[in-house]
Homo-oligomer: A and B are copies of this chain.
Amino acid sequence: MALLVQKYGGSSLGTLERIKHVAGKILTAKQQGHQVVVVVSAMQGETDRLIQLCNNLTTDPNPREYDILVATGEQVSMSLLAIALNAKECPARSYTGPQIGVQTDSVHTQARILNVKTETILNDLAEGYVVIIAGFQGVNERGDTTTLGRGGSDTTAVAIAAALNAEECQIYTDVEGVFTTDPRVVPHASLLPQISFEEMLEMASLGAKVLQMRSVELACKHNLPIRVLSTFSNHPGTLVTFEDKIMQRRLVSGIAFSREEAIIAINGVPNRAGIEGQILGLVSDANIEIDMIAQNATDKDSNDFTFTLHRKDFPKTLKIVQQFAEELGASVKSNTKVAKLSLVGIGMRSHSGVASKMFQALGGEGINIQMITTSEIKISVVIDEESLERGVHAVHTAFELDKIPSEKKHSLMEA
Contact = CB atoms under 8 A, between A and B. Distances in A.
Interface of A: 16, 19-20, 50, 53-54, 56-58, 60-62, 64-66, 68-69, 71-72, 75-76, 78-80, 82-84, 86-87, 92-94, 96, 98-99, 143, 145
Contacts of A78: 68
Contacts of A143: 99
A80 B93 contact: no
10 contacts: A16-B53, A20-B57, A54-B83, A58-B86, A60-B87, A62-B92, A64-B93, A66-B83, A69-B76, A99-B143
Contacts of A16: 53, 56-57
A57 B79 CA distance: 11
B68 A19 contact: no
Counted per complex, copies of this chain come to 2
A324 to B, nearest CB: 38
B75 A62 contact: no
A76 B53 contact: yes
Contact of A84 (B20, B57, B76, B93): B57
Contact of A72 (B19, B60, B72, B98): B72
A80 B87 contact: no
B62 A69 contact: no
B68 A94 contact: yes
Given A72-B72, A143-B99, A65 B86 contact: yes
Contacts of A87: 57-58, 60-62
Nearest to A49: B76
A92 B84 CA distance: 37
Given A53-B16, A56-B16, A79 B86 contact: no
The residue in A50, A61, A83, A94 that gathers the most chain B C-beta atoms within 10 A of its C-beta is: A83
A50 B76 contact: yes
Contacts of A62: 82-83, 86-87, 92
A58 B78 CA distance: 15
Contact of A80 (B69, B84, B86): B69
A97 to B, nearest CB: 13
A19 B58 CA distance: 12
A96 B78 CA distance: 18
A57 B96 CA distance: 21
A58 B75 contact: no
Contacts of A57: 16, 19-20, 80, 83-84, 87
A362 to B, nearest CB: 50
Given A19-B57, A99-B143, A143-B99, A75 B83 contact: no
Contacts of A65: 79-80, 82-83, 86, 92-94
A412 B124 CA distance: 51
Contacts of A82: 62, 65
A94 B50 CA distance: 16
Contacts of A94: 65, 68
A143 B66 CA distance: 24
Nearest to A78: B68
Given A16-B57, A19-B57, A76 B80 contact: no
B96 A68 contact: yes
A98 B71 CA distance: 15
A75 B84 contact: no
A257 B27 CA distance: 51
Contacts of A86: 58, 61-62, 65
A69 B82 CA distance: 10
A283 to B, nearest CB: 31
Contact of A75 (B53, B64, B66, B69): B69
A131 to B, nearest CB: 13
A143 B56 CA distance: 34
The residue in A19, A66, A68, A145 that gathers the most chain B C-beta atoms within 10 A of its C-beta is: A68
